[in-house]
Structure 1
Amino acid sequence: MSWFKDVLVDTLATLTIIATVLIGHPILTWLVWGYTGLLLLVKFFVLFGGDFLNLMDKADTKAPEWYNHMLYGTNTAVLCWFSWWYLGIAWGAIWVISFITQQKINASRAD
């Protein structure tokens, strides 16, 4: 599991989201909103900016793709289950954009 350090932030984000919906602490809520907004913004930049996609291609990770899908799916499901609709939709968008970005990176590596 040497790849675990590559996904440590994503794993901590998932644990924070779970804690936030269960506890509902205001500081955690703001933290989740801020991180979600920042991550969504970064994902959009990577998706629509060619230079950003090249940077992502160089940042190779050993983490399996299924792990990120599991985390993003968990985040989306937990937020929607607890009726945090806006954040759930945002995490669904992050999940889809990440998938599309990974497909673009994989296609550019095949060329």
Structure 2
Amino acid sequence: MTVLRGLREALVLFVIAVVVVAAAAAVWVALAGGEFTSRFGLAAVVAGGLLGVTGDLTLSRIGMLDARAVFGLPPERETGGGGRVLTGVGIFLFVGLPLVVVGVLLLA
């Protein structure tokens, strides 16, 4: 059941990302002109890269690493609370990477 919940969450996140990327590409085409597919492809690559880097809470925890090290504490661990099933790796593999692949295919 957890696998199905994770895949469902990935599908929902992917659809939301595609809608946001399409809206951004449409605004880009409306303001600057050009082809929608190439603008969509580039925006999808950028969004996929950003999701791959910021898909979990690692960046928000970097600021506390020094303070925790001073007191001899290990880095914080990511816990899948709040109804989230996917970790940062899952978001990268099932949302970010497919966006990058779709974007590269549309750019080629």
TM-score after normalising by structure 2: 0.35
Q: Which has more helix, going by share of residues?
A: 1
- Larger radius of gyration, structure 1 or 2? 2
TM-score after normalising by structure 1: 0.34
